[in-house]
């Protein structure tokens, strides 16, 4: 059939709301031509329901379209509705795993997987699946996000879990210190904690720093620990402020130069907030003002 | 003629690029594409920012009529109010009648799509239309039917995925209609709040990975609702800013450890504008990247250098350069994603509505 014929035929059937086998077939032709047409999918679902079609056949068909068009919103939505109807999620982990084996960051696949895992409480093997993905590519940010999602919805970040997750992130950082995703996970897991008092964090940073690691994420993390000390009202304010401004300058001038304006801004903000405001510290203020890095 | 240098912005070629996009659009019934209003939006908003809408002056009326033909109107008993909106195409054979304000009988399966309502309304505003044929009451009713328990929106009454994109479409529609009765602001703001990820960015929904596009949709929605500072604390906003600034490599990426892509110079750039932090980016590197994706032969922009241009990236490439203050480009209203000039026209329409 010509494209125009398919559409003319479909329009005629839609107007009558005919729910028949031939209508089901024509939706398939229309989906072939344009899988993004949400009306066609909706019509197809009405027919499936009315004719009490075998939903497992439909799941198979839907899976094929997903493999062909893995970034199509409508077909993933169709999948979800079918699973709501069957209440049978057993193919879904495999399906999303297949899609993720081609594109490990496919947002639709992760979204579907999260919905399935959560709706049907299939948490058992999720962490080992994620671990396998991170062994393949430690920079897979979607996998790190899934890790957070799983912990958050199962055990939560209680003290024991937190310790384990911090260690996990730290091990991954040691392998690839320039990886934003693992640093973000470490920082995110510790969100509720004070960075300056949580045990072991500065030691971990100093270990890397001592091995000449100068990842911007390392320097930024150390700066945050220092800022937290200042925020908590530490005693040696000028010393801590000085150390953090040295880090900020290193970021601006050498290790994260694309963000020179940002790091200068952070430096200014820290001086405003924490530089002692009495007379004798004017010199210190002048000294740190002199450290201001000019924009390139 | 000398070949264009790498950092030359080829304004004339982009105008031609968008003109070609428009020319292939309004063939009624020829396809069942469901996003033609979106393509139209990229083309005419792009031309508006290029200060070149004049080149389609004699087609304006026809285009406005064509846009109105996508409006799903209430029938006499208003039994289909919840279906009202703009549809994506003439798929189901609604008759072409751009001047009517109600229809005789609702057609089965005929309903609007939230993204098409959003782009349809914006197109009308950009083209200088006064929105007199927009059935505001029906659009509000249609929108109200799309909000879910968790505060997010689905796209169509029949059901679709629900996410941050549609929260943004809904916020924009309410802002344009100057009517928030179709929208539970508290719930929507809470949905946005719950979608902030552990890394500071915002995902399409709670638990989902932070993304430049959804972060824009979230922040722009809060700005349109006037809820930004009620929703996020100072520290939380700082984390969103830092997440956005960390997306800059040369141009911007949409997620950590993903390649840079032209469209994020707008999505992330506009978010930073709305958060008063745009002056902290490296403007030079950003401009150089966007221009490296410019097609010097056909005009338009691609997502990556040496790839084929498409309407979406052509539009957001122009937008990214407008945010940078590129010469020859109009300024943008980053929350509404239209030119300042178009946003001012909308203000005037609102004044007229409020006075009557
Ligand atoms: Zn893109």
pTM given for the model:
0.95
Q: Which residue is it, tokens 């189901």? A: B92
Structure tokens at A167: 């260690």
Contacts 24+ apart (CB under 8 A), A239-248: A241/A270, A241/A271, A241/A274, A241/A275, A241/A288, A242/A288, A244/A270, A245/A270, A245/A271, A245/A288, A245/A291, A247/A219, A247/A220, A247/A222, A247/A223, A248/A223
Check CB contact of A189 with chain B, cutoff 8 Å.
yes
Confidence band of A295 (pLDDT split at 50, 70, 90): very low
**ipTM score of the complex?**
0.94
Handedness of CA B186, B191, B192, B196 (dihedral sign): positive
| Each residue's pLDDT tens digit, B122-143 | 999 999 999 999 999 999 999 9
pLDDT for B28 beyond 50: no
Residue A193 bears catalytic tag: no
Residues from chain B that touch A17, judged by Cβ atoms under 8 A, are 108-109
What are B338's strand-pairing partners? B333
Residues from chain A that touch B255, judged by Cβ atoms under 8 A, are 105, 141-142
Ligand 1 centroid from CA A72, angstroms = 15
Shortest Cα distance, chain A CAs vs residue B282, angstroms: 6
Residues from chain B that touch A43, judged by Cβ atoms under 8 A, are 109
pLDDT for A288 beyond 70: no
Q: Are A152 and B210 a contacting pair, CB within 8 Å?
A: no
Burial B143-163 (b: 16+ CB within 10 A, else e): bebbbeeebbbbbbbbbbbbb
pLDDT for A53 beyond 70: yes
Inter-chain touch A36–B204, beta carbons under 8 Å = no
Enclosing H/E stretch for B86: strand B85-86
- pLDDT at position B101: 64
Inter-chain touch A73–B158, beta carbons under 8 Å = no
Shortest Cα distance, chain B CAs vs residue A21, angstroms: 19
Inter-chain touch A73–B113, beta carbons under 8 Å = no
Tell me which residue in B109, B209, B280 faces A42 most closely, judged by beta carbons.
B109
Structure tokens at B88: 């994506």
Ligand 1 centroid from CA B45, angstroms = 17
Closest CA to B197 of A44, A112, A208, A142: A142
- pLDDT at position A296: 39
**Average pLDDT of span B88-104:** 63
Structure tokens at A269: 């903000």
Q: How crowded is residue B166: how many other Cβ atoms within 10 Å of its Cβ?
A: 25
Q: Which residues surround ligand 1, an ion (CB under 5 A)?
A: B 261, 263, 303
Check CB contact of A179 with chain B, cutoff 8 Å.
yes
Closest CA to B289 of B7, B78, B11: B7
Which A residues 6-25 touch B at CB under 8 Å? 7, 10-11, 14-15, 17
Confidence band of A4 (pLDDT split at 50, 70, 90): confident
Confidence band of A184 (pLDDT split at 50, 70, 90): very high
Check CB contact of B161 with chain A, cutoff 8 Å.
yes
Q: Are A187 and A225 a contacting pair, CB within 8 Å?
A: no
**Average pLDDT of span A100-118:** 98
Q: Are A162 and A124 a contacting pair, CB within 8 Å?
A: no
| Each residue's pLDDT tens digit, B249-259 | 999 999 999 99
Closest CA to B137 of B166, B108, B111, B101: B101
The DSSP annotation for B11-50 comes to: HHHHHHHHHHHHHTS--TTT---S-HHHHHHHHHHHHHHT
Confidence band of B327 (pLDDT split at 50, 70, 90): very high
Closest CA to A3 of A34, A37, A25, A45: A34
What are B260's strand-pairing partners? B253
């Amino acid at each position: 059939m010509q494209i125009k014929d398919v559409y003319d035929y479909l329009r005629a059937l839609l107007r009558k709301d005919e729910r028949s086998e031939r209508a089901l077939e024509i939706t398939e032709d229309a989906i072939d031509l344009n899988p993004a047409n949400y009306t066609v999918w909706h019509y197809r679902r009405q027919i499936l329901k009315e004719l009490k079609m075998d939903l497992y056949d439909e799941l198979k068909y839907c899976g094929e379209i997903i493999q062909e068009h893995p970034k199509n919103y409508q077909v993933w939505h169709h999948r979800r509705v079918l699973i709501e109807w069957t209440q049978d999620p057993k193919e879904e982990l495999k399906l999303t795993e297949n899609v993720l084996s081609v594109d490990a960051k496919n947002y639709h696949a992760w979204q579907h997987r999260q919905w399935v895992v959560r709706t049907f409480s299939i948490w058992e093997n999720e962490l080992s699946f994620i671990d396998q993905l991170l062994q393949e590519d430690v920079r897979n940010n979607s996998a790190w996000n899934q890790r957070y999602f799983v912990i958050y919805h199962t055990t939560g970040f209680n003290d024991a879990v937190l310790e384990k997750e911090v260690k996990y992130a730290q091990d991954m950082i040691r392998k690839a210190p320039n990886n934003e995703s693992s640093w973000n996970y470490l920082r995110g897991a510790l969100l509720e904690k004070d960075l300056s008092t949580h045990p072991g964090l500065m030691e971990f940073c100093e270990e890397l720093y001592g091995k000449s690691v100068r990842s911007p994420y390392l320097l930024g993390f150390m700066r945050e620990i220092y800022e937290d000390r200042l925020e908590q009202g530490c005693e040696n304010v000028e010393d801590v402020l000085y150390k953090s401004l040295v880090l900020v300058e290193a970021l601006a001038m050498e290790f994260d130069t694309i963000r020179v304006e940002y790091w200068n801004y952070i430096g200014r903000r820290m001086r405003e907030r924490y530089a002692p405001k009495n007379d004798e510290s004017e010199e210190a203020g002048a000294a740190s003002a002199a450290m201001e890095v000019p924009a390139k | 003629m000398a070949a264009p240098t790498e950092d030359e912005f080829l304004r004339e070629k982009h105008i031609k690029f968008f003109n070609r996009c428009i020319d292939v659009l309004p063939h009624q019934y020829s396809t069942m594409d469901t996003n033609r209003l979106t393509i139209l939006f990229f083309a005419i908003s792009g031309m508006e920012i290029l200060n070149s809408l004049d080149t389609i002056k004699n087609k304006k009326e026809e285009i406005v009529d064509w846009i109105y033909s996508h409006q799903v109107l209430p029938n006499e008993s208003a039994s289909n109010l919840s279906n009202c909106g703009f549809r994506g195409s003439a798929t189901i054979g609604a008759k072409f009648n751009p001047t009517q304000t109600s229809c005789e009988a609702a057609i089965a399966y005929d309903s609007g799509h939230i993204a098409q309502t959003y782009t349809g309304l914006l197109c009308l505003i950009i083209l200088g239309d006064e929105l007199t044929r927009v059935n505001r009451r029906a659009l509000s009713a249609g929108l109200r039917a799309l909000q879910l328990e968790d505060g997010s929106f689905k796209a169509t009454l029949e059901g679709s995925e629900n996410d941050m994109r549609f929260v943004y479409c809904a916020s924009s529609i309410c802002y344009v209609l100057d009517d928030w009765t179709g929208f539970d602001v508290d719930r929507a703001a809470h949905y946005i709040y719950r979608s902030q990820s552990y890394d500071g960015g915002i995902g399409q929904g709670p638990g989902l990975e932070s993304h430049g596009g959804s972060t824009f949709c979230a922040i722009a929605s809060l700005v349109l609702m006037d809820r930004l500072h009620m929703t996020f604390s100072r520290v939380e906003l700082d984390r969103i800013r830092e997440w956005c600034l960390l997306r800059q490599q040369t141009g911007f990426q949409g997620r950590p450890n993903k390649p840079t892509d032209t469209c994020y110079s707008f999505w992330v750039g506009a978010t930073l504008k709305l958060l008063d932090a745009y002056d902290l980016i490296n403007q030079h590197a950003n401009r150089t990247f966007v221009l490296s994706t410019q097609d010097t032969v056909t005009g338009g922009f691609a997502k990556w250098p040496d790839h084929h241009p498409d309407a979406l990236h052509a539009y957001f490439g122009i937008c990214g350069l407008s945010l940078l203050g590129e010469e020859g480009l109009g300024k943008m209203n980053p929350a509404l994603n239209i030119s300042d000039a178009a946003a001012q026209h909308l203000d005037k329409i609102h004044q007229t509505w409020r006075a009557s």
